[in-house]
Structure 1
Amino acid sequence: MLKRLANPDVAKAVANIVWLGLERLTQIVVAIAVSGLLARYFGPDVFGKWQYANTLLLVLAPITWVCGAEILVPTIVHRPAAELGTVLGSAFALRIAVSALALVATWAAIAAGVTDPTVGAMLAGLAVTMIFREPFIGVINSWLQSMTYSKPQLVTSMATALVKAGLVYLLVRLAATPARFAWLWALEAAAIGGVLMVYYVRRQGGTLGWRIDRALLRHFASAGTVFWIGLVCMYLFLKLDRLMLERAISFADLGRYSAAQQINENWIALGLMLAQTIAPAFVYRVQDIASLRRNVKRLMLLAAAIMISGACVLDALAPLVITRVFGPNYEGAISIFRWCVWLSVPAGIEAIGNLVVLKYQAKFVLLAKWLLALGVAFVVNLIAIPRIGSYGALVGLAAGYLAAASVNLYYIRLKLRP
């Protein structure tokens, strides 16, 4: 064990995981606190609209994910250090252009009245995060991931999350209108992006040094297209439950369902971030098939153990979490929460398996996987939601995750054969 920890890659990964754990713990605590404040302040009906606005944002956000981390991080790892400014500058130019178009289109749709007025007012502020998340935060974070050093981004995220929680409390005390809270999320994204840009400039000797290379720009736009569509399908799958439930249940019931899912999604995000932070050291840089197969197997077991342990704790604490945080009006979310936390197990295993797909840039496998998961979830939701309501949406998510994980395992079996 001491010999392994002496390995620079292993030491970096362990330090990254420690910071990741602290950041996830902070985000979970802040999410619970903020959700509790908003749920009690808004009431189930308006809270359901708030959650639906967030769902729409998370369906729209993948539009800005051209040249995602699955393209950018391996490119940074394999290109000479002298080309870093060109790689990051080209990725930034592509992302900022697409993000600006997505924001304008979202505002135009809101102005045209395609959503509930309250939902639209909330979404107008939330959508501003698209300008900062991928062009600024995403580009710098990809650079940090390539070095297996996410501490600057994680520390900044923790600090801004705590500040945001304080500002939410202040707006509640001031009895602000629901739409005003959305702008706090835009402010948080801008602050993180600004801090990371300053950090990058300092690490590069005081100059940004970003340049746009048209050939690389075209490569990013074309090479990432299939991945991009695949990720759009992935996030549509992840939010399909709320999109379909909105048509079948009241906003108050949707608020109760979303209260349970929001805490669960913060927990599932741990598995995704765990996969991202260890990918360069234990998957992307490993060329020996036997070593890679062994690493993937161990990482899957680790992810499963972490997720099962966490699900057991959250299941046991469900009544305490729901009633103490969200209040008596959300008691209907307790049983939903107890079921949905177990979705973290297939989600964590899927995230590890997905690393092999990304390592070999198997873009059509990624696309086929999420199209299959989306299709399976849609059919199951169509059948189950009218019969068992919110629980039908959980069945759809479980079926979709299992379909996605099965595709990963089949691909790994073929690709990493001895």
Structure 2
Amino acid sequence: MQRKVAHNLLWMLVERGLQVGAGIGIVAMLARGLGPEGFAHIQYAQAVVYIASSIALICGGEVVIPRLVANQDLLVQHRLLAHAFGLRLTAGVLGYLLMCAFLVVTGQTVEFWIPALIIGVAVVLREPFGIVTAWMQAHTRTRPNTLFNLASLTVKAAGVALLFAAGIHSVPAYAIAFSLEPVVMAVLLTSFYLARAPRARVVYEPALAKELISSGLLFWASFMLMMGSRRVDQLLLKPLVPLGELGAYAASMQILDNFVMVATILAAGIAPIYVYAQPTLPQARRNILKITAAMMAVGIAGGTLIALSARWIIHLLYGSAFASATGLLQLAALASTLVFADVGLTLLPIYLRRPRLVAIKWGMVFAITIGIDMVAIPRFGVYGAILGFAVANLLSVLFGIATWLRCATAKPAAQEARA
């Protein structure tokens, strides 16, 4: 069993690594193909879609996977998946409509409308059909999902590369290339599951749907707040700074998005054995402290290297048109080192099964990010957004430290339920 788990984890880590590499290449082609202003158009559209997609995270894997593991009956699992799919699809459609409403209320021009509508297909497709991914994880079958992810990513990268090679500078064209990824993924996941699913009609059960919503409510709120806090800065920047500056800011943050993904990769590889498998809280806390220190060291080393190499990185990836992003990348890279410590410290509330703590943290981060950005951006422009990013990361770490100190005698929720 341990070998099977390690094998599946290896596939997950390989997938993440390839996604990071492909993501950097795709962003570089976008920036060079569209220029700072065109790049700002598509990045703003992606920010809006990113926040809207959080609404479709209702009934996440934290809710579905334990139930699938607890009951191996195929008909019961099929009924559960059908209800979860319906909830996610409904939320995805709602998210898409709310995105359209936001674009109308804020008076966005057609240059922002069209790419948002096209890329927004992911809001309706990614999470609903991603329920099959939860089913695979419950059966420790991550290899097919990894292959599907790589296949859909390859289609997206190929589409962007073809447009870039052809010298096309149309933002909607690149948006269509982006929309191919969730479409291909949905088709592959659906085909895989239907070939193995029971041929049984599912009757809607309001009680089951209500249970799935209520048990995942805190996780849902946490994800929405987390995703909102990570992209709200670009929404606030857009009406207050020139498009070229927004494009430079988005370019620097794209690099850091790929950098901080290393933190989640490390946590995914370390936590199952050294945290979640620990029978006692004291041992888990000690390991979390060691993991956090090690991850912080990795973050400092990587962030410092990025800051020192910022000029070379910007020139290599984006070209001279994005030279103004160099200073932004240097400051943001140093601020991003705190993300590594935050990811390490977040392992504790997950171990304790206390989603309320995670929701409180992201609610605080979201509110503080908006508050600082609204004050600092009008005064300092894009540097004000970096200030908000840095302060939010610092407060996240301080919240994690406070949680670590206060939970010295706490028990995981599962243990409390058995007591």
Provide TM-score, normalisation by structure 2. 0.86
Are residues 1:197 and 2:182 paired?
Answer: no
2:84 alignment partner in structure 1: 91
SS at match of 1:54: helix
Which letter maps to 1:310?
G
Once the two structures are overlaid, the 10-residue window that deviates more, 41-50 or 103-112, is 103-112
Deviation at 1:218, TM superposition (A): 0.7
Are residues 1:262 and 2:254 paired?
Answer: yes
Distance in 1 separating the partners of 2:378 and 2:88: 40
1:5 alignment partner in structure 2: none
Q: Is the 8 A contact 2:51 2:228 kept in 1?
A: yes
Q: State which of 30, 54, 59 in structure 1 corresponds to 2:51.
A: 59
1:360-418 alpha-carbon deviations (Å, 9 max, x no partner): 44233222211211222223323433343322212211211222232233223333438
Q: Give the direction of change, closer, same or farther, for the CA distance of 1:295–1:153 in structure 2 (3 Å limit).
A: farther
Q: Is the 8 A contact 1:44 1:255 kept in 2?
A: yes
Once the two structures are overlaid, the 10-residue window that deviates more, 43-52 or 224-233, is 224-233
1:243-298 alpha-carbon deviations (Å, 9 max, x no partner): 22223211111001101111110221232344356555554454432342244234
2:417 alignment partner in structure 1: none
Q: Is the 8 A contact 2:78 2:198 kept in 1?
A: no
Distance in 2 separating the partners of 1:373 and 1:404: 7
2:360 alignment partner in structure 1: 368
Are residues 1:184 and 2:177 paired?
Answer: yes
Distance in 2 separating the partners of 1:174 and 1:274: 38
Q: State which of 225, 231, 238 in structure 2 corresponds to 1:246.
A: 238
Identical residues among aligned pairs (%)? 24
1:123 alignment partner in structure 2: 116
Distance in 2 separating the partners of 1:244 and 1:156: 35
Q: Is the 8 A contact 1:200 1:208 kept in 2?
A: no
Are residues 1:69 and 2:61 paired?
Answer: yes
Are residues 1:415 and 2:415 paired?
Answer: no
Distance in 1 separating the partners of 2:189 and 2:269: 17
Q: Give the direction of change, closer, same or farther, for the CA distance of 1:380–1:104 in structure 2 (3 Å limit).
A: closer
Distance in 2 separating the partners of 1:379 and 1:71: 32
Q: Is the 8 A contact 1:164 1:188 kept in 2?
A: yes
Once the two structures are overlaid, the 10-residue window that deviates more, 258-267 or 275-284, is 275-284
**Residues 123-202 of structure 1 aligned to structure 2 (within 5 Å):** 123-137=116-130, 139-146=131-138, 150-172=142-164, 173=166, 175=168, 177-201=170-194
1:153-207 alpha-carbon deviations (Å, 9 max, x no partner): 33332332233222112223162631122122222112123323334455x4x64
Distance in 1 separating the partners of 2:138 and 2:153: 24
Deviation at 1:346, TM superposition (A): 2.0
Which letter maps to 1:415?
C
Once the two structures are overlaid, the 10-residue window that deviates more, 92-101 or 294-303, is 294-303
Q: Give the direction of change, closer, same or farther, for the CA distance of 1:220–1:278 in structure 2 (3 Å limit).
A: farther
User: Which runs of 5 or more structure 2 residues have no equivalent in the other structure?
Assistant: 411-419
Q: Is the 8 A contact 2:58 2:213 kept in 1?
A: yes
**Residues 293-312 of structure 1 aligned to structure 2 (within 5 Å):** 293-312=285-304
Which letter maps to 1:366?
V
Q: State which of 393, 404, 410 in structure 1 corresponds to 2:396.
A: 404
Distance in 2 separating the partners of 1:181 and 1:14: 37
Q: How many residues align?
A: 406
Q: Give the direction of change, closer, same or farther, for the CA distance of 1:308–1:332 in structure 2 (3 Å limit).
A: same
Q: Is the 8 A contact 1:121 1:179 kept in 2?
A: yes
1:78-113 alpha-carbon deviations (Å, 9 max, x no partner): x22224333323221210111122224434655778
Which letter maps to 1:389?
G
Distance in 1 separating the partners of 2:201 and 2:263: 32
Provide TM-score, normalisation by structure 1. 0.86
Distance in 1 separating the partners of 2:403 and 2:269: 22
Q: Is the 8 A contact 1:145 1:280 kept in 2?
A: no
2:71 alignment partner in structure 1: 80
Which letter maps to 1:196?
L
Deviation at 1:57, TM superposition (A): 0.9
Which letter maps to 2:142?
S
2:21 alignment partner in structure 1: 29
**RMSD across aligned C-alpha pairs, in angstroms?**
2.8
Higher RCO structure, 1 or 2 (CA under 8 Å, sep 6+): 1
Q: Is the 8 A contact 2:152 2:180 kept in 1?
A: no
Q: Is the 8 A contact 2:28 2:318 kept in 1?
A: yes
Deviation at 1:242, TM superposition (A): 1.4
SS at match of 1:175: coil
Distance in 1 separating the partners of 2:6 and 2:302: 20
Q: State which of 223, 228, 232 in structure 1 corresponds to 2:220.
A: 228
Q: Give the direction of change, closer, same or farther, for the CA distance of 1:136–1:415 in structure 2 (3 Å limit).
A: same
Which letter maps to 1:127?
G
User: Which runs of 5 or more structure 1 residues have no equivalent in the other structure?
Assistant: 1-7
Which letter maps to 2:224?
V
Q: Give the direction of change, closer, same or farther, for the CA distance of 1:391–1:209 in structure 2 (3 Å limit).
A: farther
Distance in 2 separating the partners of 1:22 and 1:402: 30
Which letter maps to 1:266?
N
Distance in 1 separating the partners of 2:340 and 2:138: 21
